[in-house]
Amino acid sequence: MTRTILHVDMDAFYTSVEERDHPEYRGKPVIVGADPRGGRGRGVVAAASYEARRYGVHSAMPISRAWRACPQGVYVRGDMEKYAEVSGRIMEILGSYTDLVEPLSIDEAFLDVSAICLPARGGALASEIKEAIWQKEELRASIGVAPNKFLAKIASDLEKPDGLVVVAPGAELEFLGDLPIERLWGVGPKTAEPLRRAGFRRIADLWGLSPSDPRMESMGLSGKHGEHLLLLARGIDDRPVVPHHEPKSIGHETTFAEDTDDPERVRKTLLALSDAVAVRLRKHELEGKTVTLKFRDESFATETRAHTLSLPVADGASIFEAAMGLLDRIRWKGRKVRLLGVSVSGLSKAGEAGQLSLFDRPEKVVKNEKLGRARDALEARFGKGTVSRAVILENKCSNKR
């Protein structure tokens, strides 16, 4: 059966939410991210409006560079809780059309509407969804409609913002042929370089290749990766829309306002990050076994270290203890810290890993988890930040003085 797949992608989501809530921002270059501090700021750009992109500002750019490129921009500190709430309402709108909704991120999702919509009506249904989002949230979305996920994802990106592109069944090759090879999933700059050297610039240029072609190996495309790439080049993608993806990891990171070599400040920061990760683990009723530390110094050199625990945890103290052990493995004496990050992977539903009883877990872990859940309950009732560790609160107070 020919499927009808939609890819819904919100246009400049974070900045669009800010422009909706602050009409005075409209038409201006809006940049969501860290405080630029007049070009001396730390951190990165989380999102840039289309007006800001005309100045060369883009997500993941250092905020200091963004300021130099666009000092007249409107710089806004992001509000992830607000964006998550808006995203939840948008996903509810999408879920009102089909149960087969696969969120990819906070601002995009695949929908399989094959059961309610013939391919010929895909464009009309997409228009209806775009209008529903606008009427309920005053936000614009771009939608791609196609027989599979790969084609729908490309289509949604071609006429942004407020775009609607339909790839009819049978028109896959016509749609793909003239697009650059970089449009193929899995073809980044490193993969594209040998392809272009060999004369493959458009997707259509790949149609004459087969998995057994000796040129495939010379371009680093041997094996299943190469086979998959050639299938995508012909518009073939049989992957289903999967409604629920369990997260593979949960993490937090922070960029210091100024590079620091203060061990106590680093320790307190790791503690705060570990607590933040633990809160999210408990919120999703998850626990994890592998703790990963991300360390970046003043020269932007980045190192990661990971450690797998014997038992899964969801308490900040256990995560912090592992993170500190990983920090000890990094030779950072004589270096200043720019960024720290903590994440937990190897996730499982709380209590499912081996069906451990309370008596199988170390007493201090059980105690810390109980304290964490008590803290969660207090913050749910009285607001975020109601409860804080004394050492972190002391640090905040000393900073204010």
User: The tokens of 83 are what?
Assistant: 């964006």
Closest to 21 in 3D by CA, of 66, 94, 86, 72: 86
Buried b (16+ CB within 10 A) or exposed e, 344-383: bbbbeeeeeeeeeeeeeeeeebeebbeebeebeeeeeeee
What is the DSSP code (8-state) at residue 44? Answer: B
SS3 343: strand
Closest to 293 in 3D by CA, of 261, 350, 332: 332
Catalytic residue (choose from 18, 51, 102, 108): 108
For residues 218 and 129, give the distance between their C-alpha atoms in angstroms, rounded to a whole number: 45
CA 134 vs. chain centroid, Å, equals 24
Q: How many CA atoms lie within 13 A of 360 on its CB side?
A: 11
CA 256 vs. chain centroid, Å, equals 21
In this structure, are strands 164-166 and 249-260 parallel, antiparallel, or unpaired? Answer: unpaired
Closest to 81 in 3D by CA, of 340, 384, 374, 314: 384
Residue pair 67/39 in contact by the 8 Å Cβ criterion: yes
253 is catalytic: no
For residues 291 and 306, give the distance between their C-alpha atoms in angstroms, rounded to a whole number: 6
For residues 292 and 301, give the distance between their C-alpha atoms in angstroms, rounded to a whole number: 17
| Residue 239 neighbours by CB under 8 Å, 6+ apart | 148, 149
> How many C-beta neighbours within 10 Å does residue 185 have?
13
What is the DSSP code (8-state) at residue 391? Answer: H
Residue pair 140/161 in contact by the 8 Å Cβ criterion: yes
Query: Any idea which residues carry the catalytic annotation?
Result: 108
